[in-house]
Structure 1
């Protein structure tokens, strides 16, 4: 067997390895679920999944305003990406920017009443999609094991 054929066979074995396959299933499932959520949120609420994630963060602590930097870190966006997103959300009346009381150079973001109303509708839509495609396909014991395992993976990644 020549070197090219051997590398081709090794590459095929590697591409079909259990770790590559299993991680691929996780990514594909998460991506498709996110696409379903995004489509439903856009159709039913007029916002995308990323805007929904911002609203989750802003609604988590009533009355809390969060810096754009914190939002960018939470959502793994660049500073320019979060600025453009917040611009669009502000234009839609979902959020507003307020000066930071402790740092005149910093701007905080908070939800508006309209943003909270949209968020509450979006939570219901999100919940329906998650129930249908993430919860319902599994029996209760498998779902409990899956969420427990995902929690352990998340913990290992935070610590590592």
Structure 2
């Protein structure tokens, strides 16, 4: 057997590794669920899933001051990416930028009344999609085990 044939067999075995397959399945499920959520939120509410994530952050504690830098970190976006996103959301009257009372160089972002109303509708729709595609396909005990396991994995990633 020549080296090229041997390498082909090794690469095929590596690509078929259960670890690679399992992780690929996790990523595929997460991406498809994200795409489904984004599609439904665009159609029903006129916002993207990322905009919904911003509104979650802003509506979770309405009196909390949230800077674009904090939003960028929470959403794992670049500074310029979050600026463009907030620009689009401001144009749609979902959020507004306000000067920080503590630092004149800093700008805070808050949801508008319209943004809060859109968020409430989007949260209802989001819940329906998550229920249908993330909760309903599993037995309750399996769903509980899955979310518990995902929390453990997230904890390990934070610690390591």
- Considering the TM-score relative to the shorter chain, is it more than 0.5? yes
User: Structure 1 length as normaliser, TM-score?
Assistant: 0.99
SS at match of 1:20: helix
TM-superposed CA distance for 1:65, in Å, is: 2.6
The runs of 4+ residues in structure 1 deviating greater than 2 Å are none
Larger RCO: 1 or 2 (CA < 8 Å, sep 6+): 1
Q: TM-score, normalised by structure 2?
A: 0.99
Equivalent residues in 2 for 1:63-82 (5 A)? 63-82=63-82
Q: Tell me, in whole angstroms, the C-alpha distance in 2 between the residues paired with 1:85 and 1:62.
A: 19
Indicate the residue corresponding to 1:157 in structure 2. 157
Consecutive unaligned residues in structure 2, runs of 5 or more: none
Q: How many correspondences in the alignment?
A: 160
Identify the residue that residue 35 of structure 1 maps to in structure 2: 35
Secondary structure of 1:63's counterpart equals coil
Q: Where does structure 1 lack aligned partners over 5 or more consecutive residues? A: none
| CA distance in structure 1 between the aligned counterparts of 2:63 and 2:96, rounded to whole angstroms | 13
RMSD of equivalent CA atoms:
0.5
CA-to-aligned-CA distance 1:31-75 (integer Å, 9 cap, x gap)? 000000000000100000000000000011122230000000000
